[in-house]
Amino acid sequence: MEIDREQSMIRPPLTLDKAIAVIDMGLRTVFSQPTPSRPYPQAESSDETSLSDKERKHAAALMRVNHVGEVCAQALYSGQALVSRNPANVEALKEASREEVDHLAWCERRIEELGGRKSLLNPLWFGASFGLGVTAGLLGEKWNLGFLAETEHQVSSHLGSHLQQLPAQDHASRAIVMQMKQDEEQHAQTAEHLGGAVLPAPVKLAMRLASRMMTRTAYHL
């Protein structure tokens, strides 16, 4: 994959205020309770008492995985926006990030409702994803957007698999996951519309393998 040299020659300077903003966002993402801008997705029907202890534990673990994905999304978008030099792309990344805050808050609330906990490795997930976002951004705008699009496609597919794995009677979790999936698909379409490049197959594979490792780890930790 070639670097978009023309677009990567000049980058916005990394000022102290930008660095502080990133650190602040990271601390808030990992340690504070996010405030959503949209209402909590409501299921048409819900009967929490119908969930067995095993089903409740499994659903909580799946929602923890989804929460980790949203922690990673905040870090990725922050890193990508930090080095992007296209205002339209930066705004698209920020808009996606704002919607991901809703997902972060919804997942956290649902985890609490199910009696679960967030991942113990959230600081690690955030740091690694931020570095990956910066790397994608430094490759140039078309690859930056292409990485965003592919990430969202893979997340959407991952959420679809969770709809298959969640207990059928866990309508509350399913309502959240379905709304998240819809948002992720829209983010991918936006990135492609803005000129995101199709990533090479080896890069897509590497992303899937990394995602699989994260998913399996976050399910337990």
Asked if the structure places residue 110 within a domain, the reply is: yes
Asked if the structure places residue 8 within a domain, the reply is: no
Q: How far apart, in whole angstroms, are the C-alpha atoms of residue 66 and residue 173?
A: 11
Asked if the structure places residue 13 within a domain, the reply is: no
Asked if the structure places residue 59 within a domain, the reply is: yes
- For the stretch 151-167, pLDDT in tens is 889 999 999 999 999 99
- For the stretch 104-150, pLDDT in tens is 999 999 999 999 999 999 999 999 888 888 888 888 888 888 988 99
Asked if the structure places residue 34 within a domain, the reply is: no
Q: How many structural domains compose the chain? A: 1
- For the stretch 25-39, pLDDT in tens is 667 777 778 888 889
Q: What is the CATH number of the domain that holds 214?
A: 1.20.1260.10
Q: Which domain holds residue 89?
A: 52-220
Contact of 2 with 43, CB cutoff 8 Å = no
Q: Is the pLDDT assigned to residue 12 strictly greater than 90?
A: no
Phi-psi region of 156 (alpha: psi -120 to 50; beta: other; left: phi over 0): alpha
